[in-house]
Amino acid sequence: MKKPIATFLLGALVLTACGTGGGSPSPPPKSGGTVAWGACTDLVGPDGKQLTPGPGVECGKLPVPLDHAKPDGEKIDLALIRVKATGDRLGSLVFNFGGPGASGVDSLAMAATAFSKLGTRYDLVSFDPRGVDRSAGVTCGDTFARMLASEADADQDALAAEFARTCQKESGKVLPHVGTVNAAKDLDLLRAALGDRRLNYFGFSYGTHLGAVYATHFPKNVGRFVLDGAFDPSVTFEERAVIQATGFDQALEAFAKDCVAQSCELGADPAAVVKTVEDFVEGLKTKPIKVGDRELTFWLGQLAVITPLYAKQSWPMLEQATAAALKGNATILLALADSYTGRRPDGTYNTMMTSLQAINCADYAERPTAAQMERINERVKKIFPVLSFDGVTGGACDHWPVRGDDAARRVDATGSAPIMVVGGKGDPATPYRWATSLTAKLRTGVLVTYEGEGHGAYLSGDACVMKTVDAYVIEGKVPAAGTTCAA
């Protein structure tokens, strides 16, 4: 997202072991413990208040090795949630809702009703991956909050260095052991603990990356897999930045056309609407907007604008919030930015953004130079000025205390059962081309195309997508090649 915020954002919006390249899979981990299920006592809703779990909802913990190379060594607990099947049970269906860094425990607690059809036949299960929230979550003091509140011309490199030092001080033990490869090994321990011979899995956004890495390492353990909002981990940082900038530019243009068609406060034609939004964000560099005792800064303004572009259902909010902010009231935009960054009503943050940083820096050896970042910014600025990052001198992982590697970028699920990949033509964060490329790299992938807007197709509520996915997960009906769902 800039540097730090811009380079957190671009290339990390997805969001998105030792790759086997189709050779021998990783040996199965030693079977871990069993899960002691009990009442859920700490579920948190989007308003920061405690959620009351619905019927059949249980929480638990699964001990896993901190270092998978030392399976009998120190353990950390993975936090789990389960919504028990309401009908004739086929097994468990494990979810990852993206990030990287999103709490699967809180997400499933809020979203379970969206999967009610699947929940008739499966226990719906999710977890906080290692380094996230309740599972040894990465914390970094208040440095991230100060980065968000900083002036556009602040010394971002110094802030990034301080951020890295604080993360090391507070979470140094877990930082070398986060990342998608280790999370995939945890997934196999979870599969065994749930008593399933094969893992049935539903991954969204970054969750498609985790699923692809799992299938690469444990192809024979792949059950019914759905990867929705697909991410191709093989692309470089520059390619991610440019492709995502293109995706969000297309989403902003689609929003502008839709807004004008319904009488838009932001301009008389689509080009005017786009210019209004771009000029507004640019203006925050020199004139942040006061909101109570806080400010909508340039960094927060960027996040506020892109957040409603993720789903067509939230486009009206972008119009209303921007129109209000142009009149001096940025309350809604600030709330949108807070929802993106995991800020709670009491001013604290969950680990979403700090976990994202730790996982991304573990998953990539790439560390762009200042010259590379300048070139990337110039390309991004021409495509989607809202996410430009002038003055950035390096990537978000420059000062990170742990060196990354590229093991999680290699994907090849040869030998696995068919894996359903769902790609949306209007997906801004994980553009359609990544669905096609990930399908090819998996070698066992089957592509389903959704022609509508938004990030992730199943949760759009599209009847065709839902019917196709449900038939595959419940009945094992693999979709035909070229299956397409119109918007």
- Is 126 labeled as catalytic in the residue annotation? no
- Confirm if 128 and 103 have CB atoms less than 8 A apart: yes
User: For the packed helices 206-217 and 432-442, what is the interaxial angle rounded to 10 degrees?
Assistant: 10
Catalytic, out of 455, 460, 462, 470: 455
- Separation between Cα atoms, residue 363 and residue 360, nearest integer Å: 5
Q: Is 157 exposed, middle or buried (0-12, 13-18, 19+ CB in 10 A)?
A: middle
CA distance 78 to 131: 9
155 carries an active-site annotation: no
Structure-token pair, residue 234: 């093989």
10 Å CB burial of residue 145 (0-12, 13-18, 19+) is: middle
| 193, 62 Cβ separation under 8 angstroms | yes
Q: In the annotation, is 68 catalytic? A: no
Indicate which residue of 106, 188, 338, 427 is catalytic. Answer: 427
- The single residue of 26, 135, 150, 205 carrying the catalytic annotation is 205
Report the candidate in 354, 310, 344, 324 with the shortest Cα–Cα distance to residue 452. 310
Query: How many other C-beta atoms can be found within 10 angstroms of the C-beta atom of residue 369?
Result: 12
CB 82 within 8 A of CB 72: no
Residue 448 near residue 465 (C-beta atoms within 8 A): yes
- What are the backbone angles phi and psi of residue 313, rounded to the nearest 5°? -60, -25
By annotation, the residues acting in catalysis are 205, 427, 455
